[in-house]
Amino acid sequence: MSSEKSKLIINVKRIKQLGETTLGKLTIEGKSKSWFVLEPSGPDSIAEGSDKRIKSGTYTVMPYSSPKYPNVYELQNVPGRSYILIHSGNYHKDTLGCLMPGKTWGCVSEKHYYVGNSKAALKEISAEISQYQYIQIRITNQLEK
C-alpha cells in the first residue's frame, strides 16, 4: 500500500449548539465533500454515560462492528469514555456521546438539531475512508456565540 493511502485525517468542526444537541461539519482532508455531524450538547465531558459530547481533540479511528452497530467506526482512547462510535442516527435519542453523520440538518420544534439521510452519509464517509490504514479525527469547538 502506498504511503498516500496509509494515513487520513477527518476534521469535525462543532459549529452550533441547541438544547441537548451539538451540530458540526465533517470534512475529510483532500476531499471536497462535507457532511454534518450530530452529537450531544456540551460542555465537553470525560464522564462515562454523561450524555454530553466528548472532549475536543485528536483521536485514532478504527473499524468497529457489533450486532447493534455493524460496520461502523470507533474513536480510540477518548478520555474517560468508551465505545464512542461514528454510526448512523438522526436524533439526540440515538446517541450517548457518539457522532452521527448526516447529509442535511434541521431543528426539532426549535429545541434540538437533527441530521437527515444519516445511513447514506455514513455509507459515503465509509467509502472515502475504508481503504486507509491509519485514520485520525480532529474535533474542534468553534461554536457560534
pTM of the entire predicted model:
0.94
Per-residue DSSP letter, 131: T
Q: pLDDT tens, 86-138?
A: 999 999 999 889 999 999 999 998 899 999 999 999 999 999 999 999 999 99
The residue behind cell 441547541 is 18
In sequence order, the β-bridge partners of residue 22 are 17, 39
Please list the alpha-helical segments (H only) found in the chain.
Answer: 118-129
Q: pLDDT tens, 10-23?
A: 999 999 999 999 99
Domain segments of the chain as ranges: 3-141
3-state secondary structure of 53: coil
Per-residue DSSP letter, 68: S
